[in-house]
Amino acid sequence: MFKRLTVVLLAALALTACDAVDPNSPLGLRKTIFKDMLKTSEDMGGMLRGRLPFDGRKFADGAVKLDTLAHEPWQHFPQVRDDGKSSARPEVWERQARFHDLARQLEGVTGELVTVTRSQPLDAVQLKVPMDKVEAACKACHTEFRNH
Ligand code: HEC
């Protein structure tokens, strides 16, 4: 009896430990988009900082992808705060206008980045400022609206 209880308890613990977020829930969907945004922007920033070889074509493709992604997470924040392992602060729902402002700011700067990457060949030096603006837009919102 005791042994069986232990097995059940361990199984329950293991389940809690993975606590898998349903990938099709709003939380799961926005997390996936944010992760993709991070990966894309890190590769682009890496090219400008010399961590990755600079490739103007790849950078331009990254800019288009990032701009597309930048429009996507917001629809997956429900009107009412959802449960689960969210790192969003309650302020996302309490100060929605400000949250949306910062989302629009990101979309604006990713749009600018696409514009400057349209004329090939690209000069890495000229991409630094527009890329910095994108990274600053991510950071500004995380500082106000995400728990670290
Ligand atoms: C308007 C606000 C806002 C902007 C702009 C923003 N984020 Fe976020 N980000 C959030 C919030 C809120 C969360 C927490 C989501 C949750 O867990 O519910 C988050 C979560 C994340 C996560 C964690 C995902 C996970 O696995 O839990 C990553 C990575 C991330 N953002 C990357 C970025 C990058 C990169 C940018 C810029 C290109 C960016 N974000 C721009 C608000 C923003």
The chain-wide mean pLDDT, for the chain, equals 93
- Give the pLDDT confidence score for residue 19 in this predicted structure: 65
Inform me whether the pLDDT recorded for 64 exceeds 90: yes
Query: Closest Cα to atom 6, ligand 1: which residue?
Result: 138
Q: What is the mean pLDDT of residues 8-23?
A: 69
In angstroms, rounded to a whole number, what is the distance separating the alpha carbons of residues 68 and 65?
Answer: 5
C-alpha 35 to ligand 1 mean position (Å):
8
Q: How many CB atoms lie within 10 A of CB 141?
A: 18
Inform me whether the pLDDT recorded for 10 exceeds 90: no
Q: How many CB atoms lie within 10 A of CB 26?
A: 16
pLDDT band at 4 (very low <50, low <70, confident <90, very high): confident
102 closest CA partner among 77, 125, 124:
77
73 closest CA partner among 128, 115, 30:
30
**Residues near 30 by beta carbon (within 8 Å), at least 6 away in sequence:** 73, 76, 77
Ligand 1: nearest atom to the Cα of 82: 18
**Residues near 60 by beta carbon (within 8 Å), at least 6 away in sequence:** 117, 118, 120, 122
- Does 9 sit in the ligand 1 pocket, CB within 6 Å? no
Residues in the chain: 148
Ligand 1: nearest atom to the Cα of 38: 35
- Does 65 sit in the ligand 1 pocket, CB within 6 Å? no
Ligand 1: nearest atom to the Cα of 92: 12
In angstroms, rounded to a whole number, what is the distance separating the alpha carbons of residues 56 and 47?
Answer: 9
Per-residue model confidence as pLDDT tens digits over 93-138: 999 999 999 999 999 999 999 999 999 999 999 999 999 999 999 9
Q: What's the token pair of residue 148?
A: 């670290």
For tokens 């910062």, the residue is 102
Inform me whether the pLDDT recorded for 23 exceeds 60: yes
Query: Closest Cα to atom 26, ligand 1: which residue?
Result: 31
Inform me whether the pLDDT recorded for 145 exceeds 80: yes
Q: What's the token pair of residue 67?
A: 């701009």
- Does 29 sit in the ligand 1 pocket, CB within 6 Å? no
